[in-house]
Amino acid sequence: MFLKISIQLTKIINEVHKKNLILNNINSSNILIDENTKKIKLFNFTSSNELNKINENCKIKINFEILRYSSPEITGNINKIIDFNSDLYSLGIIFYEILTGYTPFHEVNELLTLYHFQIAKKPKSLIEINEKIPPIISNIVDILLEKNPEKRYKTSYGLLKDLELCEKNYIKDKNIEYIKNFELMKFDSTNGFFLSNNIFGREKEIKIIEECIKNFLEKNEKQLLIISGESGIGKTEICNFIEKKFYSFNESLIFLTLKFDQSKTPINSVSYFIKKILQIFQNFGHLEEIKKNLKKRTNFQFLIELVPEFKNLFESNENLPSSQSDSYCEETKLEIFFDSITTFLKILLKKFKFLILFYDDLQWSDNYSIKIFKKLFFSNDIKNLFIIGTYRNNEVNESSFLNNFKRN
């Protein structure tokens, strides 16, 4: 029965993928099975996107139940592109549920823990749960549930061929049922060109950064690490790689990234930082505490002008405080920014013990942002903070840049 259902489901998804669409929301509540004919229908395509657009501006809303079926890359908390095999991860969860009666980590009822498990923890293999499940089926599901997308099936077609071979190799001899082994993923190839997310030739640099972070986690002291190098040598990728590696085993650690841009004004850079903090709250909770804090602020209207997303936290009929933002001088705005960021980070650190801030492309930073950078680092209210900064030494006068950085 499992093979008939799994083959039908994979055929449907394969047809969707042929149209260059990624579903993004495959879960058991979106699947209908006719009890008489055993035919399967998949519905609710509201979250689907074209492959070439999904990584540009796609915002996928994830609630607790959807998260149980979501791939690590869908969560937005790891630096991996969303591809067809994101759907295949969700399909692996469905297969797991069919064969065991429950999803991996079904016992988890806390959002942050489930996020961490979906990103980092390997589910128990099917054969460990039920030794009657054929090893090759267990292996297929293990491949589908790989945390690293590059280790999964790349195509639904490759998965379909393996499931059809399982059906072909299924043998029932008296009371014994088994599937003859064969080489998996033999038909799993793609016509597209895909870049690897792995990093090569930077083992020495990665080791140095890892040692710095381990030291930070052990000593609970603030630390600052500045990485320089020419554009395009992989500074950002190294930091993203480190983020994924450390988040994989430490759920008390949170990473927050701020990338400076030539086109952004000082105000835009800092408001973007606040938006990133808000995004983490939306993922992990604490929104009620944020709302209470905002309602108490006399500068609430000013913050809404900078970060319109704050207004979405409230009902349209709620009475919200007003303020005269036009009357604020630059120094006052700076203080409001700093106070807001500090308050939100303190709330965040109630949930996470350690905070790593990654400032990318510091060569385009402004004095406004650097002052907040400095205030955060020397603030007594924010503890257990590690700041990593990168800059392009071929685009600045290095000695004057560092002197200016130190001075600010």
pLDDT at position 136 over 90: yes
Residue 136, strand partner residues: none
The residue-averaged pLDDT of 8-21 equals 90
pLDDT the model gives residue 300:
74
The residue-averaged pLDDT of 293-308 equals 75
The residue-averaged pLDDT of 82-93 equals 90
Please name which of 256, 247, 268, 245 lies closest in space to residue 344, comparing C-alpha atoms: 256
pLDDT the model gives residue 173:
63
The residue-averaged pLDDT of 352-359 equals 84
pLDDT the model gives residue 123:
92
pLDDT the model gives residue 321:
60
For the chain, the average pLDDT equals 79
Q: How far is CA 193 from CA 154, 196, 381, in A?
A: 12, 10, 48
| 252, 243 contact by CB (below 8 A) | no
Domains of the chain plus CATH, in order, are 2-179 (1.10.510.10), 204-407 (3.40.50.300)
- pLDDT tier at 8, thresholds 50, 70, 90: very high
How many Cβ atoms sit within 10 Å of the Cβ of residue 189? 10
Q: Rounded distance, CA 393 to CA 229, Å?
A: 5
The residue-averaged pLDDT of 64-75 equals 84
Three-state SS sequence of 296-347: CCCCHHHHHHHCHHHHHHCCCCCCCCCCCHHHCCHHHHHHHHHHHHHHHHHH
* Model confidence pLDDT, tens digit, residues 181-211: 899 999 987 655 445 556 667 788 888 888 8
The residue-averaged pLDDT of 75-84 equals 71
Q: Rounded distance, CA 282 to CA 300, Å?
A: 19
Q: Would the pTM count as exceeding 0.75? A: no
Question: Token pair for residue 369?
Answer: 């942002």
Q: Which residues contact 329 (CB under 8 A, 6 or more apart)?
A: none
Q: Rounded distance, CA 81 to CA 257, Å?
A: 17
Max CA distance (Å), the chain: 86
pLDDT at position 57 over 50: no
pLDDT the model gives residue 267:
67
pLDDT the model gives residue 264:
65
pLDDT the model gives residue 124:
93
Q: Can you say whether the dihedral through the CA atoms of 287, 289, 295, 297 is positive or negative?
A: negative
* Model confidence pLDDT, tens digit, residues 20-55: 888 888 888 888 888 888 788 888 766 666 655 554
DSSP type of residue 29: G
The residue-averaged pLDDT of 150-173 equals 89
* Model confidence pLDDT, tens digit, residues 95-129: 999 999 999 999 988 777 787 788 878 899 999 99
